[in-house]
Amino acid sequence: MHDLFLPVLQEIRDLVDLQIMISKNRVKSVFLIGGFGQNPFLCRYLRKIVSVITVIALVDGWTAVARDALAKTLAETCSIVPQVSVDSGVARKNYGIIASSPFDLSIHDQAKKVTIIFPGVIPRLKHLDTGGDDIKEAQPIITFWLQQQLKWDHGAAVLQSSSRIPVVRGQDREDYYEVSFQIHATYYSAHCEYSLWFEGKNHGGVKVEYV
């Protein structure tokens, strides 16, 4: 039976090791919640693997996630219920968007340099947040972006009457609108929201629920 469940235990151990590794503070305790977290064999296995850290299986831990989610939802919808909030969490993965950055010979690979319309750039991943970062709930992470659009392109026709958007000249001698904007990434316990901001105004966004 031990060999049958060993791959699952090893995967859990890897997840625990990762959480301990990315923590910016020294981890003193590991709390086991959920149905499988109540398994005595799992608890003994982790105590043996991470012997310098206390491993605690919570009483009624199999309903801990559901109870906490219910308490938080009630607090958000009913003013007489004691408020429940999450101060911060830790990003377990990296989230980002491919963007172009100015080419720097001292740090970038010459083979990846691209020159199309504007001075040499290199495609790279621009992070909205990075694994291991502290994420404050409901507090947006703001990143700044710059986008060029051909001035006489059909898709930019609606912009031609606007004098507020600067125009720059590309290496192809064509004029381009250059728009500076922001993306606000806001994380909550059960979902995240991404919104587009231009000139200090929110122009809409998307809501992504965790699965």
Q: What is the structure's pLDDT at 196?
A: 93
- The helix (run of H) or strand (run of E) holding residue 57 is strand 54-57
Residue 184 near residue 203, CB atoms below 8 Å? no
pLDDT at residue number 129: 56
pLDDT, block means (10 residues), the chain with 211 residues: 80 86 82 83 87 82 75 75 67 68 78 63 54 74 84 57 74 82 84 89 89 59
Contact 36, 9 (CB under 8 A): no
Specify the pLDDT at position 130. Answer: 56
**Does pTM top 0.85 for this prediction?**
no
Specify burial of residue 187 (Cβ count, 10 A radius: 0-12, 13-18, 19+): buried
Task: Give the whole-angstrom CA distance, residue 38 versus residue 60.
Answer: 8
Enumerate residues 6+ apart whose C-beta is below 8 A from 112. Answer: 122, 123
pLDDT of residue 124: 55
